[in-house]
Amino acid sequence: MSFLSETIPAADHPTRIDLVGLSREELSQTLAELDLPDYRTKQIWHWIYYRGAKSFDEMTTLAKPLRRDLAERFSISRAGIATAQISNDGTRKWLLDFSDGKQAETVFIPESDRGALCISSQVGCTLSCSFCHTGTQPMVRNLTAGEIVGQMMTARDEIGEWPAAQENRLLSNIVMMGMGEPLYNYDNVVKALRIITDEDGMGFSKRRITLSTAGVAPRIADVGRDLGVRLAISLHAVTDDIRDILVPLNKRYPIKELLDSCRAYPGSRNSRRITFEYIMLKGVNDTPADARELVRLIKGIPAKINLIPFNAWPGVEFECSSDGTIAAFAEIINRAGYTSPVRQPRGRDIMAACGQLKSASEQVRKSRRIAQGKNKKEQE
Ligand code: SAH
């Protein structure tokens, strides 16, 4: 019988415990019911996160009866892929279907010799940043640790990069810059990143992981203590008046408090620079005076400024600053001694660029609803 050779989604078998997303300790506690010696936990961990095994049948270092026992009780599930798109610039976007039918997007942005996976932390978002399309969609729920790690596993499946720790991997960096605010799903994000950085599994270096936050100031010290990954701050404005409008979270944690917590970020003492993301919005935050104020504000913080050309979406009132304005802004920051790369928009044609996520799937659902409504009427 070949039932062992298939990946059986946990959703179809609610009695099976899904092993993806369990911490090392939880995995060994979970396997304890089978009375396995400790080294088995390490072996199974290795199969799941280093080799990318989708079924117990692939775990050839385990005896067949054990594999069968494991398959009866546990699963190694992956989210379903609702849609997979490839941009004409090579960017890939997957809309993932979780076991409760909720969806989130993951984006892979390849470059010639490396690439970043942009991972979501929530379905939807609570922050309602006025320039962000994801923010116009309601918050649905936090992703579980397994769903966060699972995005990485699906990406490796799709681009064919198992085992995880070989040299010259195209998937070389992770940015927690997908849908949602990672610091509002703190515990699951920490748990997932610990799995991803575990040396017996994916072994991803912390230096290759960047966590982006809209500015949950009191959590920033925790990130330094618990994770020590690179930090990115979605700053976007230099006065509280403007930032209150762009990133309403600013009313809670204003610029000064946010920057104070950045100054105290342990990473910055270890010469790891904090990235400040700054979206270029025509006539809103893009004058030379804004650039000079930005330089003044971040004084003393080892930093890099990432200028992000605004990605438009249907119905939005903001416009992107002109190339000349962006270049002049960058020049002022550069002269003050900071690097200020302008982020190349990637995957705009498949709505995979910054701030565009989830939009398409919402639209599909909306059009499906409209179509269903029509059918209903026609039937009546
Ligand atoms: N909530 C976190 C993680 C999301 S990161 C955060 O805010 O940092 C996504 C990045 O894309 C953020 O810097 C966000 O401000 C930026 N962004 C959102 N909408 C955008 C748009 N329409 N154009 C360009 N960048 C956008």
pLDDT at res. 138? 82
Percentage of the chain lying above the pLDDT 90 cut: 74
52 close to ligand 1 (CB < 6 Angstrom):
no
Helical H segments across the chain, by residue range: 24-31, 38-45, 64-73, 145-159, 186-197, 217-226, 240-246, 255-263, 266-269, 288-297, 323-335, 359-379
* C-alpha 48 – ligand 1 centre gap (Å): 32
Are 128 and 135 a contacting pair, CB within 8 Å? Answer: yes
Tell me 88's DSSP state.
T
pLDDT at res. 320? 96
Give dist(CA 149, CA 87) in Å, integer: 24
- Residue 261, pLDDT above cutoff 70: yes
Give dist(CA 155, CA 204) in Å, integer: 14
Beta-ladder partners of 209: 174
Report the alpha-carbon angle 356-361-363, nearest 5: 90
Locate the ligand 1 atom nearest the alpha carbon of residue 214 and give its number: 7
How confident is the model over 162-175, as a mean pLDDT? 88
Would you state the structure tokens that stand for residue 219, as one six-digit string? 């959590």
181 close to ligand 1 (CB < 6 Angstrom):
yes
Percentage of the chain lying above the pLDDT 70 cut: 89
98 close to ligand 1 (CB < 6 Angstrom):
no
- Residue 307, pLDDT above cutoff 80: yes
- Residue 254, pLDDT above cutoff 50: yes
In which residue are the tokens 């996976």 written?
117
Q: What is the Cα 371 distance to its own chain's centre?
A: 32
Q: Considering the candidates 105, 147, 181, 277, report the single residue annotated as catalytic.
A: 105
How confident is the model over 152-180, as a mean pLDDT? 92
Whether 132 sits among the annotated catalytic residues: the reply is no
Give dist(CA 321, CA 186) in Å, integer: 34
- Residue 142, pLDDT above cutoff 70: yes
- Residue 174, pLDDT above cutoff 70: yes
Burial class (CB in 10 A: 0-12, 13-18, 19+), 101: exposed
How confident is the model over 67-91, as a mean pLDDT? 94
Strands 141-142 and 17-18: unpaired
Whether 105 sits among the annotated catalytic residues: the reply is yes
CB neighbours of residue 29 within 10 Å: 12
Would you state the structure tokens that stand for residue 26, as one six-digit string? 């939880």
Q: Considering the candidates 125, 129, 132, 354, report the single residue annotated as catalytic.
A: 354
Find, among 55, 50, 61, the residue nearest to 75 by Cα: 55
276 close to ligand 1 (CB < 6 Angstrom):
no
Give the lowest-confidence range in 32-41, 102-111, 304-313: 32-41
CB neighbours of residue 200 within 10 Å: 14
135 close to ligand 1 (CB < 6 Angstrom):
no
Give dist(CA 276, CA 303) in Å, integer: 7
- pLDDT tens column, 3-27: 333 344 444 555 789 999 999 999 9
* C-alpha 117 – ligand 1 centre gap (Å): 15
286 close to ligand 1 (CB < 6 Angstrom):
no
Q: What is the pTM of this model?
A: 0.90
177 close to ligand 1 (CB < 6 Angstrom):
yes
- pLDDT tens column, 178-197: 999 999 999 999 999 999 99
Residue nearest to atom 7 of ligand 1 (CA): 214
* C-alpha 44 – ligand 1 centre gap (Å): 37
- pLDDT tens column, 319-376: 999 999 999 999 999 999 999 999 888 888 888 777 776 644 555 555 455 445 544 4
* C-alpha 234 – ligand 1 centre gap (Å): 7
In sequence order, what are the residues at sequence separation of 6 or more whose Cβ sits closer than 8 angstroms to the Cβ of residue 203? 50, 164, 165, 197
Give dist(CA 339, CA 275) in Å, integer: 10
